[in-house]
Amino acid sequence: MSVAAQSERVLDRSRSEWLTPALVSLLALALLAATVEIVLDGAVGHSPLIPKSPQIAGWLQGIGERLGYRVFLIAILVSAGAYAGLIALARRSRERVVVSKRAALLLIGALHLVVFAGPILLSTDVFSYIAYARMGVEHGINPYTHGPLAIAADPVYQYVGHDWRHVATAYGPLYTLLSYPLAPLGLKGALWAMKLEALLASAGTLALVWRCARARGLDPVWAILVLGANPLYVIYGLGGAHNDLIMLLAMMAAVSLTLLAPQSRGRDAGAAAIVVAGALIKATVAALLPFMVLARRSLAPLVGALAALIAGALIGYAAFGVHGIDVVAALNRDAAFVSTDSFATEIAHLFGKPGVFPIDHDLLKAALVAIVVHLMWRTWRGYDWVAASGWTLLAISVTSTWLLAWYILWPLPLAVISRDRRLLVATLVVQALFIAHQISPLLAPVQ
Amino acid sequence: MSDTSTGAASEGWGWLPGRLRPRAVESPGSGRTRLIETTLLILVAVLLSVATINDVVRQTHVNHRLIADLRTWREYTGHRYHNLSIEQELFGRGSGREVVCGNTSPGAPKARTQLCLAIWGSVVGGRRTVHGGWYLPATVEDVRADRYGCFGPASAGLCTR
């Protein structure tokens, strides 16, 4: 090798030694700045993006300006771009440490704390959670038979989304029972408790993702960065204090238990029981169970699941009667909803239809069944069951006619620890399309 | 690798034909399945991307129409108010016909007597054509029973007074 070529290589290496970390720092700052912008502007209130809420982030007022679609969309696009760059750089440079454990934790911690300190973002769901809790505890009304309209005089009622005022809870009995102790805290107290619950659930999920990634020989820093810095996870999931984060915690606790060495029937049974407990929070996570059973090929997960199901059903029945355990009715009701952000609606528009027709619901269900059967067969023949579960959760969100941002978070923790990298790519592509679908107010702001 | 060498995973499943027995790890021969899956995934991704772009373009066109409706209301009434409401359901969401309502004097949204205009047609010079309208008392929603002072062909059958 010539002296010139050698010096060129040394120069390249030294350039990348300072350039990559500098770029990573810049992207991390952009991600944080965009999140801070959304939170500070959101704290001002009077925004179509911020649900009407009791004043919980008043101490942040006066710094930002009212959050409009334009600023929000620019901030989301900046976040998404910075996130994509960050995880690509951290991935590309695996041969040497670009993002240290400390830096990753610092960034994720900062993003979480900024959102935790701010107002409820982008969704009224948390007020429904509180309303259902207050119905049961303060008013003695069964939230599985009545909607929040039954407590129209309660202070929380005015904050519940209009579409949900007549609707009985669709969440599992375990979640409803978990939310009951928060009801006596008052509206603001319950709101902060819900936010704290979401924060702790997210921290727990990240810790379990770390553990699972290590157990599978993957880079744990990269895994938590992909999950914990994800803009949809932070802004929509954590920002809305969604109970999906508690479901994800149960999901990752179950997966983590199956990855612990040595494998044991007790652990398999425990993992399946945790999946059922998760499904008693939000039913979607039950999608893991068939893959777990097929991968283990023993009765232990079935026994664990059955025991947890019986215990859960008894508790649910004792607390809420037969409606409290009729998960199928709640799922059927929700499956009929249609949102403008769903891919089903977008495809209907593409083919010149005004929206989703009943036949489309049937076609989508058939497609989902076909995907699940294929994945079950693949799992039986040795495919990674964690990836199969992730694909199923992704397929559920893509084929759902009622798609919300936090639904496309479901497969993400599994995708980052999956042995099939296609799952992560597919999940991130779906998230990118979801964000892209929001941008029309940026192209033509209606005002 | 033959299916008989799947080790512990096949234990107890020997009675099944080889190709149906469980495996602990995937057969290296599963490359073809993976190729088919990847091809399908790419096709789905293309479909979803095209549908998303189509929807963004469609919604942008709708937004341009709504911008023209707001401008039409402001120029028709001579008020530069920003708190106007747009109703897309009255004539059908896909009809391209909208009803824009706003106060007739300064005040909080819907705090004054409101003037509603039924607007449709193509956008010309950033505006569309007003085909009629009606008034609403303060604080009420746009329902048939509360409309009065109706004018223009668009209000036919939509007003009681």
pLDDT greater at residue A244 or residue B125: A244
Interface test with B, best of A66, A292, A350 (most B CBs within 10 A): A350
For residues A137 and A184, the answer to whether their CB atoms sit within 8 Å is yes
A vs B, Cβ pairs < 8 A, gives 89
B6 touches chain A (CB under 8 A): yes
B9 touches chain A (CB under 8 A): yes
Asked if B25's CB is within 8 angstroms of A447's CB, the reply is no
Q: Which residues of chain B lie closer than 8 angstroms to A430, CB-CB?
A: 48
Q: Which of residues 32-91 of B touch A (CB under 8 A)?
A: 33, 37-38, 41, 44-45, 47-56, 58-60, 62-64, 66-67, 70, 82, 86
Tens of pLDDT, residue by residue over B16-44, are 777 778 887 887 766 888 899 999 999 99
What is the average per-residue pLDDT within A297-322?
A: 91
What is the average per-residue pLDDT within B106-127?
A: 88
At A156 the three-state DSSP class reads coil
User: Which amino acid is present at A83?
Assistant: Y
pLDDT confidence band for A93 (50 / 70 / 90): low
Asked if A430's CB is within 8 angstroms of B63's CB, the reply is no
Q: Which of B22, B56, B93 sits opposite A436 (nearest CB)?
A: B56
- Say yes or no to pLDDT of B6 above 50: no
- Say yes or no to pLDDT of B2 above 60: no
Q: So what's the pLDDT on residue A10?
A: 61
For residues A304 and A272, the answer to whether their CB atoms sit within 8 Å is yes
Q: Give Cα separations from A79 to A29, A30, A31, A42 (angstroms).
A: 10, 7, 5, 16
B144 touches chain A (CB under 8 A): no
At A359 the three-state DSSP class reads helix
Asked if B60's CB is within 8 angstroms of A444's CB, the reply is yes
Backbone angles phi, psi at A151, to 5 degrees: -120, 45
What is the average per-residue pLDDT within A256-270?
A: 85
What is the average per-residue pLDDT within A134-147?
A: 92
Alpha helices in A54-185 (DSSP H): 69-92, 101-117, 125-137, 173-179
User: Any idea what DSSP says for residue A232?
Assistant: I
Q: So what's the pLDDT on residue B30?
A: 67
User: Which amino acid is present at A347?
Assistant: I
- Say yes or no to pLDDT of A230 above 60: yes
C-alpha torsion sign, points A307, A308, A313, A319 = positive
In the numeric block, which tokens belong to residue A263? 């494998």
Give me the percent of chain A exceeding a pLDDT of 90.
Answer: 67
Give me the percent of chain A exceeding a pLDDT of 70.
Answer: 94
Q: So what's the pLDDT on residue A1?
A: 53
Q: So what's the pLDDT on residue A334?
A: 75
Backbone angles phi, psi at B15, to 5 degrees: -70, -15
Q: What is the DSSP string of B108-135?
A: STTSS-EEEEEEEEEEETTEEEEEEEEE
pLDDT confidence band for A344 (50 / 70 / 90): very high
User: Which amino acid is present at B93?
Assistant: R
In the numeric block, which tokens belong to residue A172? 């599992």
Q: What residues of chain A have any CB closer than 8 angstroms to a CB in chain B?
A: 294, 297, 343, 345-347, 349-350, 354, 378, 380-383, 398, 422, 426, 429-430, 433, 436-437, 439-441, 443-447
Which of A102-116, A150-164, B135-149 is predicted with the least confidence, judged by mean pLDDT?
Answer: B135-149
In the numeric block, which tokens belong to residue A433? 């399309």
Q: What is the DSSP string of chain B?
A: --GGG-GGGGTT-TTS-GGGS--SS--GGGHHHHHHHHHHHHHHHHHHHHHHHHHHHHHHHHHHHHHHHHHHHHHHH----S--EEE-STT-GGGT-EEEEEESSSSSTTSS-EEEEEEEEEEETTEEEEEEEEEE-TT--S-GGG-EEEESGGGTTT---
Interface test with A, best of B6, B36, B49, B55 (most A CBs within 10 A): B55
- Say yes or no to pLDDT of A106 above 90: yes
Q: So what's the pLDDT on residue A15?
A: 60
Q: So what's the pLDDT on residue B117?
A: 93
Q: Which of B26, B63, B70 sits opposite A441 (nearest CB)?
A: B63
Q: So what's the pLDDT on residue A139?
A: 92
Q: Give Cα separations from A422 to A187, B39, B42, B45 (angstroms).
A: 43, 12, 11, 12
Tens of pLDDT, residue by residue over B58-112, are 999 888 898 999 999 999 999 888 888 888 878 877 788 889 999 998 888 888 8
- Say yes or no to pLDDT of A116 above 60: yes
Asked if A380's CB is within 8 angstroms of B22's CB, the reply is yes
Q: So what's the pLDDT on residue A422?
A: 95
Mean pLDDT, all residues of chain A: 90
Q: So what's the pLDDT on residue B9?
A: 56
Q: So what's the pLDDT on residue A323?
A: 82
Q: Which residues of chain A lie closer than 8 angstroms to B86, CB-CB?
A: 446
Q: Give Cα separations from B131 to B70, B71, B124 (angstroms).
A: 15, 15, 15
Report how far Cα B2 is from the mean position of its chain's Cα atoms: 53
Interface test with A, best of B59, B74, B80, B98 (most A CBs within 10 A): B59
pLDDT greater at residue B142 or residue A140: A140
Report how far Cα A157 is from the mean position of its chain's Cα atoms: 25
Pair type for strands B148-151 and B114-124 = unpaired
Tens of pLDDT, residue by residue over A34-44, are 999 999 999 88
Asked if A346's CB is within 8 angstroms of B54's CB, the reply is yes
Q: Which of B26, B48, B82 sits opposite A447 (nearest CB)?
A: B82
Q: Residue B85's closest chain A neighbor by CA?
A: A447
Tens of pLDDT, residue by residue over A417-444, are 998 999 999 999 999 999 999 998 888 7
- Say yes or no to pLDDT of A370 above 90: yes
Asked if B67's CB is within 8 angstroms of A446's CB, the reply is yes
Report how far Cα A290 is from the mean position of its chain's Cα atoms: 21
Q: Which residues of chain A lie closer than 8 angstroms to B29, CB-CB?
A: none
pLDDT greater at residue B106 or residue B156: B106
Q: So what's the pLDDT on residue A163?
A: 84
Q: From the CA of A410, how many Å to the nearest CA of chain B?
A: 19
Pair type for strands B148-151 and B85-87 = unpaired
At A178 the three-state DSSP class reads helix
Q: Which of A202-211, A400-409, B14-23 tops mean pLDDT?
A: A202-211
What is the average per-residue pLDDT within A320-334?
A: 80
Q: Which of A350, A437, A445 sits opposite B50 (nearest CB)?
A: A350
B30 touches chain A (CB under 8 A): yes
Tens of pLDDT, residue by residue over A210-221, are 999 999 999 999
Q: So what's the pLDDT on residue B95?
A: 80
Q: Which of A345, A430, A444 sits opposite B67 (nearest CB)?
A: A444
- Say yes or no to pLDDT of A235 above 80: yes
pLDDT confidence band for A233 (50 / 70 / 90): very high
Q: Residue A220, by phi and psi: left (phi above 0), alpha (psi -120 to 50) or beta?
A: alpha
What does pTM read for this prediction? Answer: 0.87
Q: Which residues of chain B lie closer than 8 angstroms to A380, CB-CB?
A: 22-23
pLDDT confidence band for A96 (50 / 70 / 90): low
Tens of pLDDT, residue by residue over A174-183, are 999 999 999 9
Backbone angles phi, psi at A95, to 5 degrees: -65, -20
pLDDT confidence band for B5 (50 / 70 / 90): very low
